[in-house]
Structure 1
Amino acid sequence: MTTDSLHIVCPHCHTTNRVARDALGQSPDCGKCHRALFAGQPVALDEAGFEKHVARSQVPVLVDFWAPWCGPCRMMAPQFEAAARELEPHMRLAKVNTEEAQALGARLQIRSIPTLALFVNGREVARQPGAMGAVDIVRWARSNLPRT
């Protein structure tokens, strides 16, 4: 792979696609299922999907760890969706339901929800517990990206 292309995991079929870096903003489609690689909304991931997106995507992955019974999580959901519209396609936004992915939550030591975690090149680089508004989510995510 050259530096002018990136691996992007499809949010629909989870196939890894190679996308030219300068084509990110041109609504690229998946080579397998032909659906949009970025839809401006978070993708719901189970444990296997989380592992694939974090390990294989070469764009940062911002994950909202949440649970359906959590009031602050439900309040933050539309804010996280708004942040996805602003941050994609240069960052993948995903949601992991900790009730369904309990082993993942335990392994990552998610102690409170909602918790945001930012992953770059397969590694967690930042974590923030608590609900935030869209502007704060965007600001926090961008400020925690490693400098290149």
Structure 2
Amino acid sequence: MRVVCPHCLAVNNVPQKDSYKKANCGKCKQSLLDTKPVELKDSNFDEVIVNSDIPVIVDFWAPWCGPCKMMAPNFEKAANKFPLKVLFTKVNTEEEQNLGARFGIRSIPTLIIFKNAKEVHRVSGALDENSLNQLLSQFI
């Protein structure tokens, strides 16, 4: 399966398994199991979405948004539970207004799940860690 490196955004081919002890990027050699959310920009958004065989969840947020700040730790905790199962990404709608407009983001936080480069689910409003885990489990 194709997986985008969260560090250098290189596309890696990784054998599909139930769990992984080690998986490193072929380009930058850093761990693909690092689950820190990736900051997406207009310049790399399509490349990441198209080149990921695993579901990609995008958190559309803004620095001034209270519910976004409340949900951020839950988003990072959930990312730790799904290494090489889901790619966690974030789009700052203040900096990337074109992406917000392109996807019709009317309220934040808004989460969009992409699978096979297509939007498969969307939810607006802050989610707690359990709700986020249950949502993602449906798409793995």
For the criterion TM > 0.5, the same-fold answer is yes
| Partner of residue 3, structure 1 | none
Cα 1:108–1:46 shift into 2, 3 Å: same
Deviation at 1:17, TM superposition (A): 0.7
| Partner of residue 65, structure 2 | 70
Which consecutive residues of structure 1, in runs of 5 or more, have no partner in the other structure? 1-5
Could you say which structure has the higher helix fraction?
1
Deviation at 1:52, TM superposition (A): 1.5
| Partner of residue 3, structure 2 | 8
User: Aligned pair 1:53/2:44, yes or no?
Assistant: no
TM-score computed with the length of structure 2 as normaliser: 0.94
Percent identical pairs in the alignment equals: 45
Partner amino acid for 2:70? M
Secondary structure of the corresponding residue to residue 59 of structure 2: strand
Which one of 67, 87, 96 corresponds to residue 91 of structure 2?
96
| Partner of residue 17, structure 2 | 22
Ranges of 4+ aligned residues in structure 1 off by more than 4 Å: none
Secondary structure of the corresponding residue to residue 8 of structure 1: strand
Cα 1:49–1:38 shift into 2, 3 Å: farther
| Partner of residue 108, structure 1 | 103
Structure 1: how far apart are the matches of 2:59 and 2:22? 23
Structure 2: how far apart are the matches of 1:59 and 1:100? 26
Partner amino acid for 1:137? L
Structure 2: how far apart are the matches of 1:102 and 1:16? 26
Deviation at 1:79, TM superposition (A): 0.5
Which consecutive residues of structure 2, in runs of 5 or more, have no partner in the other structure? none
TM-score computed with the length of structure 1 as normaliser: 0.89
After superposition, the CA RMSD in angstroms is 1.5
